[in-house]
Structure 1
Amino acid sequence: MKFNLRLLCAVSLTGALAGCGSFDGVNDNMSRGLEPAPAAPAAAASTGISDFPQKIGEPYKVGGKTYTPEDVASYDNVGYASWYGEELAGNPTANGEKFNPNGISAAHKTLPLPSYVEVTALDTGRTILVRVNDRGPFTNDRLIDLSYGAARQLGIDQQGVAGVRVRKVNPNEQERAVLRNGGQVTERIPTPDSLLTILRKNLAKLPQPAAPVRQATRSAAPAGAVNTSGVGASYVPPTGRPTGSSRASGDRFIIENQTGATQSRSTAPAPRAVSTASGFVVQVAAFSSRARANTLANKIGAKVMSDGTGKIWRVRYGPYATERAAEQGLNEARRRGYGGARILRAGK
């Protein structure tokens, strides 16, 4: 009888202790130190990237406008997001790291570096965790610039700009380590429709982006140039080049429609177009800046082809004799992360 009583007590005590491990489905062992946290991936430690010290920074001026960084713990805003990609890979970010287009990072004008934010796509309600390590975008109609990897995870990489909610958060160290190492963490739960309705109404009060057909108005360094501005991965201070609106309009990532039409403008002189009169090509991207198109083409082993007017520079694989042969270039583009690449008839 005594043995049975002791066994019953032991079982009851074990169940009670197991029940203490969570409350309302949230595990509290981590905060109480009952179980050690899993070690961060070894690769994360080897990158040398740290979240400390966090830098707020002094006020700075870009394009005649002064931006004042500040730490707002409850930062929660809606606006428009754009993204920047592989053509700027390796450029130093504003906090001294190297821009990784496939990482899950972002640029913001005023948040401390680094910061962590949840970004919600207002058209779908999808939400991801993003690490802010750069400054930008320096256009008034943009709230945040996502890396290509972040835009792809959020599902907005096929859009020029997208309405988003940006909310500052404090994730756990495991998630921080994954993002520092260039990985992505699990998507957050979808935003409820009731909240999305409110957020979309707030977004509707803002001015529409000036040129939704383009990816972003950003300054890119000529091929081989090193960005030492300290402002951000994609910003290069003007050096004897036109400034103001004339300069901004000549350096755009363009999203063309299926017929190749675009609303972008450029003052660059018309170059001789690469001849692709027959066969097929794979279009990866299009720019109004020849330098930026050359940078991307050199990185991915593609060619720069003009539209013949000097207004658009297209980064393409090919030409190929047949559409089936062009699929090789399409697969290569997608392997490098350009899911929006497509096969076109040469000459278009």
Structure 2
Amino acid sequence: MTARLLKGACIVALLPLMAACATGARSGGGPRLPVVTDPAPIVSGTMRPYQIRGRWYRPAEQPDYDETGTASWYGDQFNGRPTATGERFDMYALTAAHKTLPLPGLVEVTNLSNGRSLVVRINDRGPFVDGRIIDLSRGAADQLGLLQQGVGEVRVRYLGPAPRLGSAQPVRYAAAVAPAPAAPRPEPAPEVGAYWIQAGSFSDRRAARQVAGRLGERATVDVTGQGDTPRYRVLVGPWSDPDAAEHARQAVVARGYADALLISGR
């Protein structure tokens, strides 16, 4: 998006992957949100005032940013182009553009029409349309239920700096606040030939179920071990493509499960 509008934005080298998050409770209860313990530095060039179509925008630190307005989304036209942070725009990743918040950062976006919430990585500038406060990637819009109508009323809350990026495996997904889990279902073992993310291994079945519930519908509990020492693994998946599985693993890490592993059902 900003490859056309902000050609002079500072492009920085991607840093080694050191994303490690803990979880913190949302005020007033509800889903738990990520707290970044190893934040990426703000891209200094993106904090300079800039002008688009005769209008000036002045980026600034806004720790208390909490705004309601219209969200839009962008996709194919900008897919693969550099964003304002120097990251490549992936329309299926959970990212977004904002006019003035620090980059890269994390925001919680809530679709006010259906209550769905998602934590996305802000790595671009926009949208430069009056009345719109955030421009979501196609993937983020899809998960929030905004893909078909194109725009919708949302609440955007700034959470703070985003985690660092890795040069070989960029963090393509931010943390998604999953909806409440569906009714209990069977807990299958990993499928042969599939890739799974192991979010954790627990000695207590209830603890494993709680973690699976926080990670959403694709999370299940697999029992391993025998006798008096069973282990309960929380598995997320499956994915048939190892790259997609790795991107999903990084999303689980961003949710606060820093020891998440990519495993194969082979």
Normalised by the length of structure 1, the TM-score is 0.37
Greater helix fraction, Structure 1 or Structure 2: 1
Greater strand fraction, Structure 1 or Structure 2: 2
Structure with the greater relative contact order (CA < 8 A, sep ≥ 6): 1 or 2? Answer: 2
Larger radius of gyration: 1
